[in-house]
Amino acid sequence: MAAKTNPIPSVWARQQPAPDQPALSRAAIVREAIAMLDAEGIEALSMRKLGARLNAGATSLYRHVATKDELMELAVDEVAAEIVVPSPDFARADPEADSPDWRAAATEAARSFRATALRHPWLSSVLGQAGLAYLGPNLMSFSERLAALFTAAGFPEPSRAIDTVLSYVIGMSTTEAAWLTTVARSGETEAAFIARLMPAAQQAAAGHDHLTDAYAEPPAADPAEIRETKFAYGLEVVLDGLSLRLPR
């Protein structure tokens, strides 16, 4: 029986070792997953589509990743590496200032966090579901650098200060990211989306005096700029409150 009913195993059908395509590996999978999440959002990521993008079957991924949740955890830790937290060297920059510029460092860390959260809006969804229970290496060194920063700043209870500023930053960033996701789904520019939303908002605000005032007219400035100054304002508030807790 030379001819079988099964597909003929021909030498030519032999799959070459994927000459250019990157081999299937945990790192490649995570990298491609992040690319997909960034491009199409969190609900567009499925194991089958991800496999297809890697020229692989869906179930092949499970050789390198235990479960989809674990894959998301890996993705979170991967993008956590993008957050830059300045080293606590600010004292050396200006040796005569005995109250060094920890505020600039904290501000830089906060801005970097926000930037990464807006660059990867799916992060907000994952944070809302899984929180900070992840122990990936990048998240750990993120925490470590924050601890170093606020300790060097002189806070008697650095973890309290960290939790406070981090809560503010997370709250503002996730809210912003969720909003931007909604905007992106509409396919419009942010300003156009706001303009289209205004009537509904004004109607919903009917009977509420302060809200009707707030929604009286569309904002004049660039929405992105508005969001940035809003973030900066709240951050200054939090840092002001914290600086009251510094000894002296």
Tokens of 134: 């992840």
Q: Which of residues 55-114 bind DNA (CB under 7 A)?
A: 55-60, 62-64, 67-69
- By beta-carbon proximity to DNA, the closer residue of 71 and 172 is 71
Closest distance between a copy of itself and the C-beta of residue 188, in Å?
14
CB 232 within 8 A of CB 168: no
Closest CA to 24 of 70, 67, 59: 59
CA distance 62 to 172: 35
| Nearest Cα to Cα of residue 196 among 214, 175, 211, 182 | 182
Residue span binding DNA (CB under 7 A) among the ranges 10-18, 102-110, 160-168, 191-199: 10-18
Contacts of 146 (CB under 8 A, 6+ apart): 85, 109, 162, 166
Per this entry, what is the length of the chain? 248
| Residue 132: contacted member of a copy of itself, DNA, none (CB under 5 to 8 Å, by partner type) | a copy of itself
Among 81, 91, 118, 127, binds a copy of itself (CB under 8 A): 127
Residue 68 binding result from DNA, a copy of itself, none, given CB thresholds of 5 to 8 Å by partner type: DNA
Task: Kindly indicate which of the ranges 25-33, 97-105, 147-155, 217-225 contains the residues binding a copy of itself, using the contact rule CB under 8 A.
Answer: 147-155
Please, what is the minimum distance in Å from the beta carbon of residue 69 to DNA? 6
Q: Does 166 bind a copy of itself (CB under 8 A)?
A: yes
DSSP string, 143-183: HHHHHHHHHHTT-SSHHHHHHHHHHHHHHHHHHHHHHHHHH
Where do contacts with a copy of itself occur on this chain (CB under 8 A)?
42, 124-133, 135-137, 140-141, 143-144, 147-148, 151, 158-161, 163-164, 166-172, 174-179, 181-182, 197, 200-201, 204-205, 208-211, 214, 230, 233-234, 236-242, 244-245
